[in-house]
Structure 1
Amino acid sequence: MKSKTQNYNDRILNIPGIIVGLLISYIITLLFFIIYALVLTYTPLSELTLPTLTMLITIIGIVLSGAIAARNTKSKGWLNGGLAGLLYVLLMLFLGVYFVKEAGINAGIALKLIWGVILGAIGGMIGINL
């Protein structure tokens, strides 16, 4: 007889893992942004680095969320990671629209969602093999 943990890990979608992956990746993303803000404030680093580092931090967050989401699954790591990446980007877009009134829905959203799924799936493939 299998334990509840074994039955849970046999599921295709690891919903609790996806939620944990999102929470951890958002906390780490927030820490990276705080550190970057402090570096910008207290060093002569130019604000011209903002778009590049914002993109890099976001990519790390998406891949990390996918890896954590797929870590405890036995198969379909790409699916769990892709879903985590999609949710990461959707939540980031929602927060952007909510907190930054100038941010709105534009044509680039579809591209961001696609990249979120792709990067999350890559993270899921990494996470399932850890």
Structure 2
Amino acid sequence: MSKKEIDLKENLAKIYAKAVLRGIILSLVLLVVMSAVSYLTKLDEGYMSTITWVIAVISISYAAIYGTLRIGKKGFLHGALIGAIYVVLMFLFSFLADKGELDVRGFIIKLMMAIVVGALAGMIGMVIKGSD
């Protein structure tokens, strides 16, 4: 095993944490922007769930691409894992904020979406990097 592979294994958790944190920060920024736009334009409430899904997809894509560019191989796998970690953390945050309200069906749907979007974004990251 080369030194680069050993360093990568040691830093994998750090790269995952940075990628997920960047995705969460992007989500928060986009949600603040969405809230301001919604307040100023009196946007219809019916669009809010669609907009939050789009924000989640953008954030997961960004996190997965960032992570796979840093890791440099197996983009689909690392992207899917980063997406899954993102959704699990967001689910935990929302579970704690809602004081115990649990929507298992919604969580499973979001988890499947995150895995698929993360895997696709991870593959895009590998294409951008020019690796396999």
Provide the TM-score with structure 1 as the length reference: 0.85
- Count of residue pairs the alignment pairs up: 125
Question: Which stretch shows the higher mean deviation, 105-114 or 27-36?
Answer: 105-114
Which one of the candidate residues 45, 54, 57 is aligned to 1:56? Answer: 54
Q: Once the 2 structures are TM-superposed, how far is the Cα of residue 110 of structure 1 from its aligned partner?
A: 2.1
RMSD (CA atoms): 1.9
Provide the TM-score with structure 2 as the length reference: 0.84
Aligned-partner residue type, residue 118 of structure 1: V
Matched, 1:104 2:102: yes
Q: Once the 2 structures are TM-superposed, how far is the Cα of residue 102 of structure 1 from its aligned partner?
A: 6.0
Return the alpha-carbon distance in structure 1 between the equivalents of residues 126 and 82 of structure 2: 13
Return the alpha-carbon distance in structure 1 between the equivalents of residues 82 and 91 of structure 2: 14
Q: Which residues of structure 2 form unaligned runs of 5+?
A: none
Match of 1:15 in 2: 13
Return the alpha-carbon distance in structure 2 between the equivalents of residues 103 and 64 of structure 1: 29
Match of 2:86 in 1: 88
Q: Which residues of structure 1 form unaligned runs of 5+?
A: none
Higher helix share: 2
Match of 1:45 in 2: 43
Q: Secondary structure at the match of 2:43?
A: coil
Return the alpha-carbon distance in structure 2 between the equivalents of residues 121 and 72 of structure 1: 15
Overall identity of the aligned pairs, in %? 26
Taking a change above 3 Å as real, the CA distance of residues 48 and 111 of structure 1, as seen in their structure-2 partners, is: closer
